[in-house]
Structure 1
């Protein structure tokens, strides 16, 4: 499952808002990823970028902007 076309995928605004909101609530990156899993999303590291995926299929939704890490 190492697909990752890190090109021009843009994350939809409602999903990006959810990810940002959950990051502000989490005390650590590990907790943040756990919280996102509860909503059906995951973040994987690919070629130095963080890619948001939809669980359980692993469908890539887009590259996470650097300011959110």
Structure 2
């Protein structure tokens, strides 16, 4: 997976990257669009935000907001 211009298997690094990127934008829609560019799909679910890796749609985990 990709986070901060490097490949990583550490989900904490990925989730930290996603959170930092969210702080840079005004809307959730813009953030989701930016994350698609990095190869992540963000979907709001009951428990938080489900993060999937594109294009296979492999669920990586849930980011609790």
The TM-score by the shorter chain falls in which range? 0.7 to 0.9
- Uncovered stretches (5+) of structure 1, i.e. residues with no partner: 1-10
- Is 1:33 matched up with 2:32? yes
Where relative contact order (Cα < 8 A, 6+ residues apart) is larger, the structure is 1
Q: Distance in 1 between matches of 2:42 and 2:34?
A: 11
Aligned residue pairs total: 55
Structure 1 stretches of 4+ with a deviation exceeding 3 A read: none
**Could you tell me how far 1:35 is from its partner in structure 2?**
0.8
- Unmatched 5+ residue regions in structure 2? 1-9
Tell me the TM-score normalized by structure 1.
Answer: 0.71
